[in-house]
Each structure stands twice: as C-alpha cells, then as structure tokens.
C-alpha cells in the first residue's frame, strides 16, 4: 500500500498524468473547432514515426531544446530562474557561425574549438546576470530578460556587418565543412554515397535529413550535468545554495561565487545549444526580428523533465516530436498548428498543479 | 526644428510607453497581492488579438478594447485558479500562460480570419478616438506631443487610480497586507484567497488592455510579431519601478523614450547603427538597476504559496 502511494505521488507519475491531460485537452479543443482529434493525432504520430527520416527530423528538432532545457534545469536546481537561455543561445550561435567560418583548422580541432568558444560565450553572457545578482542583488529574471534583447540586437549588428554578411542575404556565411556536424555531409551526395544509400534504405533515408552529431552532444551534456550535480563538490554546494541560501552561507559556502558559477554553467549549456544548431543544422546565424523561442521552449522542457538531466532529454524529444509531427496537421487536415502550443501549455499548467492531480485522485477513490 | 524634434520624441515616447504601462500596472497589482504573474506576455498577446478581432467585427475600437480586458481577465482567472486554489508554482503557471495566450490567439485568428495569422486592419475612423485632435494647430509642438489616442490618457489615469487603490483605500491596504504577510492578514479576518483572486484577475484585465492598446491604437491590426517581449519588458518595468504604480510608469516611460530616440535617430542623418541603438534601453536599464536601485524590494510574500491551515 505505502509503496503504491509513493509511486502515484512521484514526479514521473504527475508528469505522465499531466501529459495525458494536456493531450486530452488538445483533443477537446480540436473537437470544438471541428476537427477529428483521432485523425489529427494519427497524422502527428505518423508524421513522427512512419519513416526513418521523420524520426531523424524529430531528433534534429529536439536537439537545441534539450540543451536549453538542461540550461534552465541546471539554474533551477541552484535556485535561479534563467529566462535568459534565449540570449545565451543567441551569443552561442553567432560565436559558432563566426568561428566556424573565419577560423580554418582540421575538423578534429575545429569542431571542439568552436564548441568551446560558444560555451564560453554563453557562459560569459550567463555570468553577467550571475555577477549582477551576486554583487548588486539585481534580480536575475529582469537582468536575463534585458540581456536577451541585448543579445538579439548584438547578433543583428554582427550578422549585418559588411565583413560578416553573406552577399544578398541577412545571414552570415555558411560555416566551413571542417566545423559542421552533419553526418557524411559531402559523402552522402557523392556517387559512392548515393549507391550505398540505395542498398541501405533505412540509413539512406535518415541521410536525406541533416542528421548530425548534435543529439549525441546533447546527451553527453546531460550526463555531464548529472555528474556535476550529483558527484562533485561544486554540484553539492550549488544545490545547497539552491535549497537554502542562508544555511549554505552558514555552512561556509561562498554564495556569491556559487551564483556566478551556476549562471555561467547554465549559460554555457545554452551557448552550446546555439553552437550545435549552427554547426549541425542551419550552418549560419541570421538576423532576427524576434527571438526564436529556444530559450522559452527550454523552460518548458526543464519543467516537463522535472529539472532532471535525463528527464530533459526525454522531454526535449517529446517537445521536438510535437513540434515536428504537429507541423504536419495543417497541410494534412487543415487544423491550426497552434494546437501544439496549447497542448504544451496545458501540460505545463497541469505540471504546475500537482494538488489538482492529487485532488482528482482522491475524488476517484471516494467514488469507488 | 529642435522643438519639433523634441515633440516628436516625446510623442513617440507616450505612444510606446502606453501598452507597457497597462501591463506593468497589471503586474503591480498582482505582485502586491503576492502572486507573481510572468504570464503578462501571453495575456498581452491574447489581448492584442481580441482587441483587433472584436474591433474589426463590431466596427468599434472601444468594444474591442473592453473585450480584450474581459478575455485578459479570463486568463488572469486561469492563473488565479492554478496559483491560488491549486497552489501551483506561480512562475510555472505563468510560463504555461505564455504558451496558451499566443496559442489560443493564433488558433482563433486562423479560424476567424480565413487561416491568416493576422487580422484585417481596422479602418482609421473605427479605431480608438483621439479626443484632442484639432485642439492644437496641426503638427505644432503640442499637437505632436499630446494629440494621442484615448488609450494613452486612460493609461495615465489608471496609474493614478492604481496608486489611489493601493495606498488610499481599505482594499489596497488589504492587497498589500496579503502580499506582505498572508498569515497575519488572515488572522485579522481578511480573506486572502478573495483578495488574491481579485488582484490576479485585474492583472489579466490590465494586460489585455495593454495588448489591445498595441493592436488598435499604435497599429490597426494584430499580427504574430506585434507582441514580442513587451509583456516581459512591462514585468521588468514593474520590478524596476519597485512594485509601485508610479515607479512602473516612470520605467515604462523610460523604455518609451528609448524607443522614441531609436525611431528618431535615422532622421538626424547621423550614422549610428540602429541595432546598437536598439540595445540602449536594455543596457541602460541594467546600469540603472546597478547604480540607483540596488536591491529591489519585492513584497515579502511575493511568489509564495498560501494555504489556509
């Protein structure tokens, strides 16, 4: 009995219930606006799983938001709310686009160098907020919001600069082949590649997409975060500050320097997200009219993933799948794509209310 | 010429500060009662759509404006139910609203405007009125500053009303008491839940107004990129203004002024990158926060869950 109770109160259980409620709510909305939810969900599921290349696209969609999700989750764990993953992502992306084009090195050095530079840029951007909080007690929510905008305009300034801009576009030059992360990018269109793809339909189909190493990097980052949080002194003190600042201080932990480190690591993860997106998918940074939303989607990923690194990977895949699969309902049956935002929003809303879910459960028991 | 320039900048300042003022007042009342509302952005987005759509179909900007307030209030209610009744994490619930607002706005927009992600523009004479139009000579100094849509004046009236409500009435005292120390307020017989419900719903109404002030006064239609971050800037303005209506107003005016300067600069012929210039208000806010404000003091129970024992 007691064990069963534990299971149904666990965050995983609440997440599962919330996801189902979100989907049910989405179905009801679809029904109200005159679409068959079963058809819609079938289209989404087929759009995700029915071909190898669809699965590959799902993973490509998931990659950046897994990393921004990790970024937000890491900050949450240390008691900070990083709304600034958006801006840290942007500085990571522009850094990658510049370092990927202007530096030339063999791939084995070029890729790690670009990744490190982008992580550094994101970490720097995040640590500004950390420093302002530690030194001047400026609320990190407000400073990260401000820095998101500064990052956006800085990005546009750099991208549109004469020496950076690609002729006839509002984007940078494509990163060099030595920096890109796309699997077999040149080989797959060569003669040998094309004939190999014919013999191996599964992998051949995947290679039609810009399948890339980004997902592996994201999973690697999740493992690193897991280790930092659970196996290192740094992680221990960061979490201690997150749980109770005063107690941590009393226990001899240097709180201000911990806040700066936490925001730097969080920003570094978001910067890595930007790098991976540029090196693995877009191969360029573009001028932005508004933020792309990876930071905010990262907040959702962190929440659905219960701030657990592995949870973030799974939640990122879920979100990526909904984004990619959901993009197919409009052409297929005409249902508005925005239903996906509504479903994701409802999932987050239910996750925020464990009390509601527990209340419903109690009611059910009483009914029996 | 210099006077003209100043008038242009001040006029633009008023125009751009207005939507921010409504929304930051919404943030102010909610957070004074102890409920963080980070969903202002999403509610503003919804308000912008409802204002433009209802305005278009009823041929009246004012009905659109009010409808935006009502729907904003409903989103406020949703936030209130989640945070107050079901003790949700307020930030998380706000994030959810930031997905739901744009989601529903665009969904409804596609359904009511033939699949388009923008509404049909309102004709000029169906927009919110400009009560002082014709009072001053056209394009004179005062005309350029003060000949504005009614929403602009209404915003400043609301700043005063909000100040009066919070600091001069019993209800305001209760709102602040609940935000500072809900347990103590409860022992004095104040219904914490009721006060918070009222405040959070009001924050939705005001954010809805903020969105509509954007879509039916500054421009004449709703489109996807119309609200991109104003809700967050309003939130920042509220914090910057130290959770006070008048403080929030000054912060919004500062953002408006920066916007005015950005728009004005190209006219001067000076070769300053508009991108760098656009950064200015945000950098300035950070600097001002460090130099002048220091520790921003939120209501003590801001963001804390209250449960009756």
Is the confidence at residue A10, as pLDDT, over 80? no
Residue-wise pLDDT tens digits, B34-55:
999 999 999 999 999 999 999 9
Residue-wise pLDDT tens digits, B84-136:
999 998 988 999 999 999 999 999 999 999 888 899 998 887 888 887 777 78
- The CA distances from residue A96 to A99, A101, A105, A110, A121, in Å, are 5, 8, 14, 11, 9
Residue A177 has, within 13 A of its CA and on its CB side, a CA count of 5
Averaged pLDDT of chain A: 91
Instruction: Please indicate whether, in this complex, the C-beta atoms of B273 and A157 are within 8 angstroms of each other.
Output: yes
- The CA distances from residue B82 to A353, B15, B107, B280, in Å, are 6, 34, 23, 37
Residue A150 has what pLDDT?
95
Fold for domain B2-293?
ABC transporter involved in vitamin B12 uptake, BtuC (1.10.3470)
Q: What percent of chain A has pLDDT over 90?
A: 68
Instruction: Please indicate whether, in this complex, the C-beta atoms of A146 and B96 are within 8 angstroms of each other.
Output: no
Residue B305 has what pLDDT?
81
What is the dihedral sign for C-alpha B167, B170, B174, B175?
negative
3-state secondary structure of A220: helix
Instruction: Please indicate whether, in this complex, the C-beta atoms of B239 and A359 are within 8 angstroms of each other.
Output: no
Q: Residues with Cβ < 8 Å from B41, sequence gap 6 or more?
A: B98, B101, B227, B229, B230, B231, B232, B235
Mean pLDDT by 10 residues, chain B (309 residues): 86 94 97 94 97 95 96 98 92 92 95 90 83 78 83 96 96 95 92 96 98 92 90 88 93 90 79 81 83 69 78
CB environment B203-214: b (16+ within 10 A), e (fewer): bbbbbbbbbbbb
- Alpha-carbon gap: A209 to the closest alpha carbon of chain B (Å): 28
Residue B284 has what pLDDT?
81
Nearest to B95 among A291, A299, A356 (CB): A299
Q: Residues with Cβ < 8 Å from A67, sequence gap 6 or more?
A: A217, A218, A221, A269, A270, A272, A273, A276, A298, A316
Please tell me the distance from the alpha carbon of residue A118 to that of residue A267, in angstroms, as a whole number: 10
Instruction: Please indicate whether, in this complex, the C-beta atoms of A300 and B95 are within 8 angstroms of each other.
Output: yes
Long-range contacts of B63-69 (CB under 8 A, 24+ apart): B64/B122, B64/B212, B64/B216, B65/B128, B65/B151, B65/B209, B65/B212, B65/B213, B65/B216, B68/B208, B68/B209, B68/B211, B68/B212, B69/B205, B69/B206, B69/B208, B69/B209, B69/B212
Residue A3 has what pLDDT?
47
Query: Rounded to the nearest 5 degrees, what angle is found at the Cα of B259, between the Cα atoms of B255 and B261?
Result: 120
Is the confidence at residue A327, as pLDDT, over 60? yes
Among candidates B307, B309, B308, B305, which has minimal Cα distance to B34? Answer: B305
Residue B69 has what pLDDT?
98
What one-character DSSP code corresponds to residue A163?
T
Instruction: Please indicate whether, in this complex, the C-beta atoms of A339 and B103 are within 8 angstroms of each other.
Output: yes
Is the confidence at residue A95, as pLDDT, over 90? yes
Residue-wise pLDDT tens digits, A213-259:
999 999 999 999 999 999 999 999 999 988 888 888 888 888 899 99
Among candidates B304, B45, B84, which has minimal Cα distance to B201? Answer: B84
Tokens in use for B215? 């879509």
Q: What percent of chain A has pLDDT over 70?
A: 96
Interface size A-B, in CB pairs within 8 Å, comes to 142
The residues in B 44-83 lying below 8 A from A, measured between CB atoms, are: 78, 82
Residue B288 has what pLDDT?
80
Task: Give the H or E element holding residue B242.
Answer: none
Residue A9 has what pLDDT?
64
Predicted TM-score (pTM) of this structure: 0.90
Chain B residues touching A33 at Cβ < 8 A: 107, 111
Looking at domain A52-320, does it have CATH number 1.10.3470?
yes
- Alpha-carbon gap: A333 to the closest alpha carbon of chain B (Å): 13
Beta-bridged to residue B118, according to DSSP, are B223
CA-based nearest residue in chain B for residue A336: B107
Among candidates A326, A342, A129, A36, which has minimal Cα distance to B290? Answer: A129
Among candidates A262, A264, A300, which has minimal Cα distance to A88? Answer: A264
Residue A283 has, within 13 A of its CA and on its CB side, a CA count of 15
Residue A47 has what pLDDT?
94
Per-residue pLDDT, averaged over A45-71, amounts to 95
In chain A, where are the structural domains located? 52-320
- The CA distances from residue A233 to A240, A243, A258, A307, in Å, are 10, 15, 11, 19
- Alpha-carbon gap: B135 to the closest alpha carbon of chain A (Å): 38
Please tell me the distance from the alpha carbon of residue A202 to that of residue A196, in angstroms, as a whole number: 11
Identify the residue with better confidence: B295 or A306.
A306
Residue A2 has what pLDDT?
44
Residue A91 has what pLDDT?
98
Instruction: Please indicate whether, in this complex, the C-beta atoms of A132 and B96 are within 8 angstroms of each other.
Output: no
CA-CA-CA-CA torsion for B296, B300, B303, B306, nearest 10 degrees?
180
């Amino acid at each position: 009995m007691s064990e069963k109770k534990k299971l149904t109160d666990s965050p995983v259980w609440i997440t599962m219930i919330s996801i189902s409620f979100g989907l049910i709510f989405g179905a009801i909305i679809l029904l109200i606006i005159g679409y068959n939810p079963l058809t819609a969900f079938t289209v989404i599921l087929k759009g995700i799983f029915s071909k190898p290349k669809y699965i590959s696209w799902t993973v490509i969609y998931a990659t950046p938001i897994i990393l921004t999700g990790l970024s937000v989750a890491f900050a949450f764990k240390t008691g900070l709310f990083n709304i600034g993953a958006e801006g840290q992502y942007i500085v990571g992306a522009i850094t990658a686009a510049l370092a990927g084009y202007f530096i030339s090195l063999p791939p084995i050095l070029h890729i790690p160098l670009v990744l490190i530079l982008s992580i550094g840029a994101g970490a720097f951007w995040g640590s500004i907020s950390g420093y302002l909080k530690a030194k001047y007690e400026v609320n990190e929510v407000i400073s990260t919001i401000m820095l998101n905008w500064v990052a956006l305009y800085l990005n546009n300034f750099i991208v549109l600069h004469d020496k950076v801009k690609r002729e006839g576009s509002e984007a940078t030059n494509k990163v060099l082949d030595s920096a890109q992360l796309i699997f077999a990018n040149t080989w797959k269109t060569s003669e040998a590649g094309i004939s190999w793809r014919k013999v191996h339909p599964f992998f051949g189909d995947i290679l039609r997409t810009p399948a890339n190493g980004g997902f592996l990097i994201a999973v690697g980052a999740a493992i690193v975060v897991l280790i930092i949080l659970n196996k290192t002194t740094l992680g221990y003190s960061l979490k201690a500050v997150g749980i109770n600042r005063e107690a941590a201080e009393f226990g001899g932990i240097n709180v201000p320097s911990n806040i700066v480190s936490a925001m730097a690591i969080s920003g570094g993860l978001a910067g890595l997200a930007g790098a991976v997106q540029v090196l693995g998918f877009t191969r360029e940074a573009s001028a932005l009219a508004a933020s792309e939303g990876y930071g905010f989607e990262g907040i959702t990923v962190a929440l659905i993933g219960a701030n657990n690194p592995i949870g973030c990977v799974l939640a990122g895949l879920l979100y990526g799948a909904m984004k990619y699969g959901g993009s197919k309902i409009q052409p297929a049956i005409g249902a508005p794509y925005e239903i996906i935002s509504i479903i994701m929003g409802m999932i987050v809303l239910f996750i925020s209310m464990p009390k509601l879910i527990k209340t419903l459960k109690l009611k059910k028991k009483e009914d029996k | 010429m210099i006077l003209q320039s100043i008038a242009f900048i001040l006029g633009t300042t008023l125009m751009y500060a207005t939507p921010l003022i409504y929304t930051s007042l919404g943030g102010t009342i909610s957070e004074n009662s102890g409920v963080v509302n980070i969903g202002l952005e999403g509610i503003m987005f919804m308000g912008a759509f409802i204002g433009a759509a209802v305005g278009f179909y009823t041929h009246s900007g004012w009905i659109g404006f009010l409808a935006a307030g009502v729907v904003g209030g409903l989103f406020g209610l949703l936030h209130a139910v989640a945070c107050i009744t079901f003790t949700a994490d307020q930030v998380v619930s706000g994030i959810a609203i930031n997905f739901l607002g744009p989601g529903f706005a665009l969904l409804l927009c596609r359904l009511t405007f033939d699949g388009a992600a923008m509404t049909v523009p309102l004709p000029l004479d169906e927009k919110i009125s400009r009560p002082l139009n014709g009072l001053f000579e056209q394009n004179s100094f005062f005309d350029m500053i003060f000949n504005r849509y009614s929403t602009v004046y209404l915003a400043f009236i609301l700043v005063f009303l909000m100040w009066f409500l919070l600091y001069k009435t019993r209800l305001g005292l209760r709102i602040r008491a609940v935000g500072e120390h809900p347990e103590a307020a409860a022992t004095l017989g104040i219904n914490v839940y009721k006060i918070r419900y009222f405040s959070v719903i009001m924050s939705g109404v005001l954010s809805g107004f903020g969105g509509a002030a954007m879509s039916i006064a500054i421009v004449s239609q709703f489109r996807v990129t119309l609200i991109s971050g104003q809700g967050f800037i309003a939130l920042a303005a509220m914090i910057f203004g130290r959770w006070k209506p008048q403080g929030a107003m000054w912060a919004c005016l500062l953002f408006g002024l920066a916007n005015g300067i950005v728009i004005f600069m190209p006219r001067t012929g000076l070769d300053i990158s508009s991108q760098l210039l656009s950064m200015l208000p945000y950098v300035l806010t950070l600097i001002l926060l460090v130099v002048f404000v220091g520790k921003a003091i939120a209501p003590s129970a801001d963001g804390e869950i209250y449960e009756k024992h």
